[in-house]
Copies of this chain bind each other. A is one copy, B any other.
Amino acid sequence: MALSPETRDKLKKVSTATLATALYKRGLRGQFIQDVQPLHKPTESMVGEAFTLRYMPAREDLNQLVVFRDRGHPQRKAVEECPPGAVMVIDSRKDARAASAGGILVGRLKARGVAGVVSDGGFRDAAEIATLGIPAYHQRPSAPTNLTLHQAIEINGPIGCGDAPVFPGDVVVGDADGVIIVPAHLADEIAAEATEMTAYEDFVTEEVSKGRSILGLYPATDERSLTDFAAWRKANGR
Interface, chain A (partner B; CB < 8 A): 15-17, 19-21, 24-32, 34-35, 37, 41-42, 56-62, 65, 68-69, 71, 76, 79-80, 93, 95-97, 99, 102-105, 107-108, 111, 124-128, 140-145, 147-148, 151, 153-154, 157-160, 163-165, 175-178, 180, 183, 201, 204-205, 208-211, 213-216, 218-219, 221
Contact = CB atoms under 8 A, between A and B. Distances in A.
Contact of A201 (B65, B104, B140): B104
Given A93-B93, A103-B205, A221-B69, A29 B108 contact: no
11 contacts: A26-B61, A37-B140, A41-B127, A61-B183, A62-B165, A76-B215, A80-B213, A93-B163, A125-B177, A127-B175, A128-B205
B111 A211 contact: yes
Most B CB contacts (10 A, CB to CB) among A24, A27, A79, A93 go to A24
Given A27-B60, A124-B17, A208 B165 contact: no
Contacts of A158: 56, 153
